[in-house]
Amino acid sequence: MNFPQIAQQVIDKLGGKENIATAAHCATRLRIVLNDESKVDKEGIDNIEGVKGQFAVAGQYQIIFGSGTVNKVHAELTKLLGIGDVSNAEVAEAASGNQNLLQRLVKGLADIFVPIIPAIVAGGLLMGIHSMLTAKGFFVDELSVIDMHPGLADLVDFINTIANAPFVFLPVLLGFSATRKFGGNPFLGAALGMLLVHPALADGWNYALTLAQGKIQYWNVFGLEIEKVGYQGTVIPTLVSAWVLATLEKTFRKFVPSYLDNLITPLFSLFIAGFLAFTVIGPIGREAGSLIASGLTWLYDTLGFVGGAIFGAFYAPIVITGMHQTFIAVETQLLAEMANTGGTFIFPIAAMSNIAQGAACLGVAVALKDPKVRGLAVPSGISALLGITEPAMFGVNLRYRQAFFAAMIGSGLSSAFIAFFNVKAIALGAAGFLGIPSIKPDSLAMYSIGMVISFVVAFTLSVIFVKRAKAKA
């Protein structure tokens, strides 16, 4: 491949150098902020060698080249543009000016939660492994692995301790990430998160039970009785408290002399934010978070397969808008309240949607004889089956929209099936065929059947729909 030539073609089809503000790349895509998106020659970009798809989202124009290729194209692109290396964060910041209020809100939540996902995924998957090892009847009728091999008990307990850590100390992770996003000192945010789960506080997981037993202790501060209760597993109290902390910090820095800044600013910011966290923000936020988690679970359980069908069918369109980024916050709360919610229903439905997109993409490869289409559709379809849907969705299925509709139908039917059997996940992970460790052990059979339904329906309908559309053309 002639990468300098490809880079020049990209520049030309995007409207020239003057139309490109910033450019970066991720594992598979160029991520470009344009001054005027109307100048883009989309058909011309599709015809560039190596291009596997294109789409605009979150104020960025993204061109899919695939791993191993995109970095080489980007290197030549930056040479021609003369802008040097730009980070994804800088591109995202530049793109924010092109976003409306809702888009900025979604992006803000994504910026907070995405950095901590590896910790949540690692803990969640270990939690899934722990459940498999301790569940009776998972491998042998009426027996768990521990029952059969008692010598593994300490190892399993160790796994459970590691698994719980990211959720027990979730406010620390969120405090760091959120405060950084809001423009404050992230280490102050971490300190605030530590305060919310301090060992001297009553366990927030058992708040309702401790309250019912009358064992809540109180601080008497300024005539107020403040509950000595932690906020383990909470999301809303931590996010709001982090925003307050960052706002206080920035406000103090406006009038505090520089020689007193390191003394006064962190002292008063942390004290005031901490006080508000335990008196106002925390109690209200705890109830709000629990109500949201319980409400969504109730709605899912009440609507059953109908709700599953609707959510599953429209999950992919939601992904196109970027609104799926907000689900991370909801899923985190559902997992944090697992004792009440039983886990998250969003992950299994996301998996059904991803599998359907992959199957529909493979259906396009079967339906069309074009070697170029097949060269893109087969690897993109396999990638989607494993949880990475962008190449399949944006590069193939939306181009051949009949495949996208087939995927929506497959996802809707399979999601209805798993919703009927109340399939839930106890962890986040790869939303696809590799998502099995994230699923509750007693739901694995139905989850597996759901995957088969999603694949077979989406693949079959995609082949039929695309062939029919080709015949009419």
What is the enclosing helix (H) or strand (E) of 76? helix 70-81
**Residue 107: per-residue pLDDT:** 65
In SS3 terms, 271-320 reads as HHHHHHHHHHHHHHHHHHHHHHHHHHHHHHHHHHHHHHHHHHHHHHHHHH
Closest CA to 181 of 260, 238, 118, 101: 238
Closest CA to 319 of 58, 34, 38: 58
Half-sphere exposure of 195 (CA within 13 A, CB side): 23
How far apart CA 123 and CA 125 sit, in angstroms, is 6
**Residue 420: per-residue pLDDT:** 92
**Residue 87: per-residue pLDDT:** 47
In order of their start, the domains of the chain are 3-99 (3.30.1360.60), 113-305 (no CATH), 345-472 (no CATH)
Contacts of 189 (CB under 8 A, 6+ apart): 175, 176, 177, 178, 179, 180, 242, 245, 246
Average pLDDT for the chain? 82
Residue 253: how many CB atoms within 10 A of its CB?
14
C-beta contacts of 173-178 below 8 A and 24+ residues apart: 173/116, 173/119, 174/112, 174/116, 174/235, 174/238, 174/239, 174/242, 175/238, 175/241, 175/242, 177/112, 177/113, 177/115, 177/116, 178/112, 178/238, 178/239, 178/242, 178/243, 178/246
**Model pTM?**
0.63
Do 83 and 294 form a contact (C-beta atoms < 8 A)?
no
Written as six digits, the tokens of 131 are 């459940």
Catalytically active residues, by annotation: 26
Ranges in the chain, pLDDT < 70: 27, 57-59, 67, 83-107, 109-110, 114, 121, 124, 137-138, 205-209, 293, 296, 321-326, 329, 473
Do 437 and 325 form a contact (C-beta atoms < 8 A)?
no
How far apart CA 1 and CA 8 sit, in angstroms, is 13
How far apart CA 40 and CA 61 sit, in angstroms, is 9
Q: CA 143 from chain center: how many Å?
A: 35
